[in-house]
Amino acid sequence: MGHYQANVRDIEFTLFEVFGRGEILGTGIYEDLDVEAAKDILGEIARLAENELAESLVDSDRNPPVYDPAAKTVVIPESFKKSYRAYLDGEWGKLDTPVELGGMQVPPSLRWAVAEMVCGANPAIHMYGATFSFAKLLWFLGNDEQKKLAKLIIDNAWHTTMVLTEPDAGSDVGAGRTKAVQQPDGTWHITGVKRFITSGESDMCDNIVHFVLARPEGAGVGTKGLSLFIVPKYHVDLETGALGERNGVYATNVEKKMGLKVSTTCELTFGDGAPAVGTLLGDVHDGIAQMFYIIEGARMFVGTKAIATLSAGYLNALAYAKERVQGADLTTPSKDAPRVTITHHPDVRRSLMLQKAYAEGLRALVLFTAMQQDAVALATDGDPTRHPEKGSPADLAARMSDLLLPIVKGLGSERAWVLLGTESLQTFGGSGFLQEYPIEQYVRDAKIDTLYEGTTAIQGLDFFFRKIVKDHGQSMTALSMQIQQFAKDLGTNAGALDTEREMLGKALENVQGIVGFMAGAAFQSDPRTGGDLRNLYKVAQNTTRLLLGAGDLVVGWLLLRQAEVALAALEAGAAPKDEPFYQGKVAAARFFTRQVLPRLAAERAMAEATDNSLMDVPEAAF
């Protein structure tokens, strides 16, 4: 068994006891999947993750991929190839494959629960495995010829890539300069350089299909002028699947990174010396909208990866703390007092409970977000490119998922990274700094999560301006009403959580206060009503604060929902083997409510004290 331990008990509790996912199984598009089958899937992937997938995590970090600059090829370590092959042999890609191509129709909540365990064991496996979700998008968005390519991608497990970032443009996607020129035969020649391209080169498959944002010759500036092109590493006979000549796209560098080394992060050069030939996705110039299907999935993945690593870090720290004997109990200070395991020490308990609360609360956040995606999938027959009927419950669920995505990505990555370094690693003392334990690699591998798919600052801007203001606060109001109703529901469980419900209500008021201040500053920035544009600076100084504060609020609410279910189970006479689990859920919720949520009052005070003096500091003074 490797470094990883799956928390299947908590995953099943959250899916079925708290969120009632069993209610949607066996019906509609999920008629072939019942609760027992879903639990079998979770059990099988847990076994695989803890063993074959986890086995190569350390070796593939110590012996990373080797890039040959002359051949522009990469050799992946054999240990990782073995793990990845085990994933493919288990046919887990079917969970992301269109049913028309032999895939399995599963709700997003179950799919993301599976993804958590894969990411916790060895995140690069899930990243190379994006093959199947990209092919699914190509199947739904592509023209007839591209649908044939989608089938070949799935049948051959060819890698796929999201080719977005450029060296000069960075997160300013609209500034991209990669160019596309249409040819007489209808294909396009792509020229330019892209950077930070995940899975851009490897020797684990015989072809790679790139999804490339480029600007057609003569198109306008900004993101609206971008189109999405499908560019294979090797040309393909779409009727036979036979590979043809090499296309003009090459990995001209593989980045040397602080972590997640086995995932090849490449510089790709298109059209240097030979044409890079591509086809326009779906024969329509709608690149940024098409790419956002990929981006949204990628942001969900990053948050899931982050919380999976935090869960693994916490469970490793917990196991160590239960075995590590050091010092006497604080209440027996005599020199000859018996030594105790460090779980007896108050600050270690504080640290472990903080890790537990966030690991399980963030897991609930991911699955609650996926639960919204379940509703959308049911309303659209599983077509990821269809939007539910406007004004329908599924439409609200889609908006809710959009609202929560930057929280999943931003809060998940930030809290996981900080807790892994300051709490999980710290539990081991000096030993945590050694490669003898996996935590130091977790810390290095997890740092990228705050940067991937838009930094935390970008997530904060997206959360306020696009997911709240542009949505006219509809989804935020709906979420707030759910939290408020829970906070007011005093007397439930014989009032056992009444204090926590009241504290949750105060936390909600504080987050609403931050939103109110920012909305006021935004309104006062409109020149049409006599406002000063500089007031936007006050908004932008608080977007990250709001994102993380709102995220903590939602996590606190979800932990309390779990505690409510756990208390009911205890009151009903839970089996002795289950009592500690349910007691832990109540303890985590109470701890988080009392130790984390009160900080939101200070965050609100800081937001409301914001002025523009920071923006007046001369650059030379920094």
Q: What is the pLDDT of residues 342-364, one digit of tens each?
A: 999 999 999 999 999 999 999 99
Give the CA count within 13 Å in the CB-facing half-sphere of 352: 20
To 10 degrees, what angle do helices 393-419 and 543-571 make? 100
Residue 123 and residue 445 in contact, taking contact as beta carbons nearer than 8 Å: yes
Which one, of 423, 436, 449, 450, lies nearest residue 313 by Cα? 423
Collapsed DSSP state (helix, strand, coil) of residue 420: helix
- Local structure of 10: helix, strand or coil: helix
Burial-class residue 365 by CB neighbours within 10 Å (0-12, 13-18, 19+). buried
Q: Which two tokens stand for residue 386?
A: 């269809």
d(CA 465, CA 27): 37
**What confidence tier does 27 reach under pLDDT thresholds 50, 70, 90?**
confident
SS3 31: coil
pLDDT tens, residue by residue, 89-102: 999 999 999 999 99
Which pLDDT value is given to residue 20? 97
Backbone angles phi, psi at 497, to 5 degrees: -115, 20
pLDDT at position 473: 94
Distance CA 487, CA 507 (A): 10
Mean pLDDT of the region 233-250: 97
What is the C-alpha separation between 414 and 399, in angstroms, rounded?
Answer: 23
> What pLDDT shows up at residue 91?
95
pLDDT band at 1 (very low <50, low <70, confident <90, very high): low
Q: pLDDT (tens digit, 9 = 90+) per residue, 421-449?
A: 999 999 999 999 999 999 999 999 999 99
For residue 169, the model assigns a pLDDT of 77
Distance CA 378, CA 181 (A): 40
Note the pLDDT tens digit of each residue in 580-621.
999 999 999 999 999 999 999 999 999 999 999 999 999 999
Candidates 449, 142, 97; CA nearest to 304 is: 449
Quick one: 415 exposed, middle or buried, by C-beta within 10 A (0-12, 13-18, 19+)? buried
If you ran DSSP here, which 8-state letter would residue 151 be given? H
* Cα–Cα distance, 423 to 351 (Å, whole number): 6
pLDDT in tens, 31-60: 999 999 999 999 999 999 999 999 999 999
Give the tens place of pLDDT for each residue, 498-520.
999 999 999 999 999 999 999 99
User: Given CA atoms 96, 102, 105, 106 in this order, what sign does their dihedral have?
Assistant: negative
According to the model, what pLDDT value does residue 168 have? 81
Instruction: Look up the CATH architecture of domain 8-137.
Output: Orthogonal Bundle (1.10)
Is pLDDT above 90 for 285?
Answer: yes
Task: Report pLDDT for 175.
Answer: 79
pLDDT at 267: 96
CA 129 to chain centroid, in Å, comes to 15
For residue 494, is pLDDT > 70?
A: yes
Pairwise CA distance, residues 308 & 207, whole Å? 30
Between strands 265-270 and 249-254, the pairing is antiparallel
Dump pLDDT digits (tens) for 376-401: 999 999 999 999 999 999 999 999 99
Distance from C-alpha of 210 to C-alpha of 564, rounded to nearest angstrom: 47
240 contacts: CB under 8 Å, gap ≥ 6 = none
The H-or-E segment that residue 278 falls in is strand 276-280
Q: Does domain 158-285 have CATH number 2.40.110.20?
A: yes
Q: Is 141 exposed, middle or buried (0-12, 13-18, 19+ CB in 10 A)?
A: buried
- pLDDT at residue number 2: 80
Q: Is the pLDDT of residue 143 over 70?
A: yes
Average pLDDT, the chain: 96
Q: Where are the domains of the chain?
A: 8-137, 158-285, 463-613
Model confidence at 176: pLDDT above 90: no
Closest among 294, 388, 315 to 358, alpha carbons compared = 315
449-485: pLDDT as tens digits: 999 989 999 999 999 999 999 999 999 999 999 999 9
Q: With 90 as the cut, is the pLDDT of residue 171 above it?
A: no
Q: Report the catalytic residues.
A: 453
pLDDT of residue 172: 78
**pLDDT band, residue 87 (cuts 50/70/90):** very high
Which residues make Cβ contacts (< 8 Å) with residue 185, sequence separation at least 6?
A: none
Tokens of 479: 């979420």
User: Comparing C-alpha atoms, which of 452, 376, 366 is closest to residue 405?
Assistant: 366
Give the C-alpha separation, 579 to 570, whole Å.
7
Q: What is the share, in percent, of the chain residues with pLDDT greater than 90?
A: 94
The neighbouring-strand residues paired with 230 are: 211, 279
Contact partners, residue 70, CB within 8 Å, separation at least 6: none
What is the C-alpha separation between 50 and 121, in angstroms, rounded? 6
pTM of the model: 0.96
Phi-psi region of 381 (alpha: psi -120 to 50; beta: other; left: phi over 0): left
Burial class of residue 239, CB neighbours in 10 A (0-12, 13-18, 19+): exposed
Among 22, 52, 18, 19, smallest CA distance to 37 is for: 22
Cα–Cα distance between 193 and 279 in angstroms, integer?
18
Q: Say yes or no to pLDDT of 325 above 70.
A: yes
211 vs 231: CA distance, rounded Å: 6
Residue from 109, 110, 114, 56 nearest 86 by CA: 56
Q: How confident is the model at residue 271 (pLDDT cuts 50, 70, 90)?
A: very high
